Amino acid sequence: MRRLAQTDGLTDVQLEMLATVRDFVDKEILPVATALEHADAYPSQIVEGMREMGLFGLMIPEEYGGLGESLLTYALVVEELSRGWMSVSGIINTHFIVAWMIRQHGTPRQKARYLPRMAEGSIRGAFSMSEPDCGSDVSAIKTRAVADGDSYVIDGQKMWLTNGATANLVATLVRTDPEAGHRGMTTFLVDKEPGFGEVEPGLTVPGKIDKMGYKGVDTTELIFTGHRVGAAQILGGEPGRGFYQMMDGVEVGRVNVAARGCGVALRAFELAVSYAQRRETFGKRIADHQAVQFRLAEMAAKVEAAHQMTVMAARRKDTGERNDLEAGMAKYLAGEYCKEVVEDAFRIHGGYGYSKQYEIERLYREAPMLLIGEGTADIQKMIIGRRLLEEYADRSA
Ligand SMILES: Cc1cc2nc3c(=O)[nH]c(=O)nc-3n(C[C@H](O)[C@H](O)[C@H](O)COP(=O)(O)OP(=O)(O)OC[C@H]3O[C@@H](n4cnc5c(N)ncnc54)[C@H](O)[C@@H]3O)c2cc1C
């Protein structure tokens, strides 16, 4: 039993599930993660294992064939998976967000059609807000859908789709009314074949974006040129609600990006504390130099703080309360701490940290993604700041 990143008050079911995932990570992910990452190879066998464990349906209600677990369970599973390899958690994260959006906002027909197959992993979800010219400023998207009879014709270019090629369902935010600002945006459930090239008439996945880290999982563009989608594919059935649906999805997604940060930081700490007891300089273990010990202490405090903040944000959502403040704080803190802990672990490895033979090299390239994905650190601070001014509004004037 490890000492850091423990969670009080878990049920036996949660403890058992986490023990199973931890065992899977130790036996099936950690031994192969770095080689797969260096080869930028899709981890098909690991994905199959996750499917068998039911992880694709972790939060999908039992009536639709899922495990009906809480956001807390999901976040803790993501933390464990990311301790093994962050890309693996990315494979289920967009799927999870899309399933969440369908569960919260879908019509009964959409829930019945998608959720059971998403739970078994035969339908795999990606979500798409970002475009080449905008990511933080979602309200600036240009991709348009124009009504034509009982369908819509979509034109435009989307960017940065995690699982863009492997997914066969993309929740896509488009503009349906150019005059109506946020209320003129609509989420379409776009079905497609997996793969690259023109996967459906007027729908093209050009190729994989070559990334600094977060390899293995595919990240793509998606180009719409007169792609026709039935009006029945509008999430929730009515146009104009897409922005709010996406923000709801991103809010739960933020807890999971925070959980990823916790997992990567925990692994970096484990690598550093182990290395520090094996490496000797000036006649003693480097762990016995006070500077290194202090570094380990700071790292551990950050790992623990990020974990507890993430648990708090997930629990708040599970009680049905608004958690945008806590999710924003958790994502911001866990992302920043992860980057710092990984850099400290890198320093403790000395020159070997720069060698591709050591796992920390991979973590060093993975951590920056957490400063950007699901809203940059600056955007989190905007959300946190605005919410604080609401909560602490000065009414003395
Ligand atoms: C590996 C990867 C996977 C991704 N996966 C997905 C996905 O699956 N689906 C999806 O839709 N998107 C995805 N994204 C896109 C991601 O959400 C965006 O990159 C992110 O929101 C930032 O947008 P941007 O890149 O356009 O940066 P910009 O919005 O151009 O920001 C550039 C810089 O300006 C700062 N900035 C912007 N506006 C403000 C402001 N108002 N105040 C202060 N600072 C500001 C930002 O913090 C940043 O530092 C992914 C990105 C990456 C790198």
**Ligand 1 contact via 57 beta carbon (within 6 Å):** no
**Ligand 1 contact via 353 beta carbon (within 6 Å):** no
Q: Nearest Cα to 105, choosing from 222, 240, 258, 259?
A: 240
**Ligand 1 contact via 380 beta carbon (within 6 Å):** no
User: % helix / strand / coil in the chain, to the nearest 5?
Assistant: 55, 15, 25
**Ligand 1 contact via 130 beta carbon (within 6 Å):** yes
Residue with tokens 């130099």: 289
Question: How many angstroms is it from 127 CA to the middle of ligand 1?
Answer: 14
**Ligand 1 contact via 129 beta carbon (within 6 Å):** yes
What are the structure tokens assigned to 382, written together?
Answer: 């905007």
Going by CA atoms, what residue is nearest to atom 48 of ligand 1?
A: 376
Q: Does residue 396 have a pLDDT over 90?
A: no
**Ligand 1 contact via 211 beta carbon (within 6 Å):** yes
Strand, coil or helix: what is 2?
coil
Using one digit for the tens of pLDDT, what is the confidence trace for 354-386?
Answer: 999 999 999 999 999 999 998 999 999 999 999
Question: How many angstroms is it from 130 CA to the middle of ligand 1?
Answer: 8
Dihedral angle computed from the Cα positions of residues 210, 122, 331 and 36, in that order, rounded to the nearest 10 degrees: -40
**Ligand 1 contact via 127 beta carbon (within 6 Å):** yes
Half-sphere exposure of 119 (CA within 13 A, CB side): 19
Question: How many angstroms is it from 249 CA to the middle of ligand 1?
Answer: 16
Question: How many angstroms is it from 91 CA to the middle of ligand 1?
Answer: 19
At 41, the amino acid letter reads A
The model's confidence at residue 395, banded by pLDDT at 50, 70 and 90, is confident
Residues 41, 28 contacting (CB under 8 angstroms): no
Determine the pLDDT at residue 2. Answer: 85
Q: Does residue 1 have a pLDDT over 80?
A: no
Which atom of ligand 1 is the closest one to the Cα of 129? 11
Strand, coil or helix: what is 42?
coil
Q: What is the pLDDT averaged over residues 257-270?
A: 98
The per-residue pLDDT of the chain, averaged, comes to 97
Using one digit for the tens of pLDDT, what is the confidence trace for 90-138?
Answer: 999 999 999 999 999 999 999 999 999 999 999 999 999 999 999 999 9
- Element spanning 169, H or E: strand 169-175
Going by CA atoms, what residue is nearest to atom 16 of ligand 1?
A: 373
What's the sign of the alpha-carbon dihedral 386, 387, 388, 390?
positive
**Ligand 1 contact via 113 beta carbon (within 6 Å):** no
Per annotation, catalytic residue among 37, 361, 366, 374: 374
Going by CA atoms, what residue is nearest to atom 14 of ligand 1?
A: 160
Whole-number Å distance between alpha carbons of 374 and 134: 13
**Ligand 1 contact via 217 beta carbon (within 6 Å):** no
Cα 254 vs. chain centroid, distance in angstroms?
7
Question: How many angstroms is it from 160 CA to the middle of ligand 1?
Answer: 9
Question: How many angstroms is it from 180 CA to the middle of ligand 1?
Answer: 23
Best residue for ligand 1 mutational test, from 160, 173, 221, 243 (most atoms within 8 Å of Cβ): 160
Using one digit for the tens of pLDDT, what is the confidence trace for 34-73?
Answer: 999 999 999 999 999 999 999 999 999 999 999 999 999 9
Which atom of ligand 1 is the closest one to the Cα of 374? 17
DSSP 70: -
Catalytic residue list contains 69: no
Dihedral angle computed from the Cα positions of residues 204, 206, 209 and 215, in that order, rounded to the nearest 10 degrees: 70
**Ligand 1 contact via 51 beta carbon (within 6 Å):** no
Which atom of ligand 1 is the closest one to the Cα of 209? 1
Using one digit for the tens of pLDDT, what is the confidence trace for 293-338?
Answer: 999 999 999 999 999 999 999 999 999 998 999 999 999 999 999 9
Q: What is the pLDDT averaged over residues 251-272?
A: 96
Residues 78, 263 contacting (CB under 8 angstroms): yes
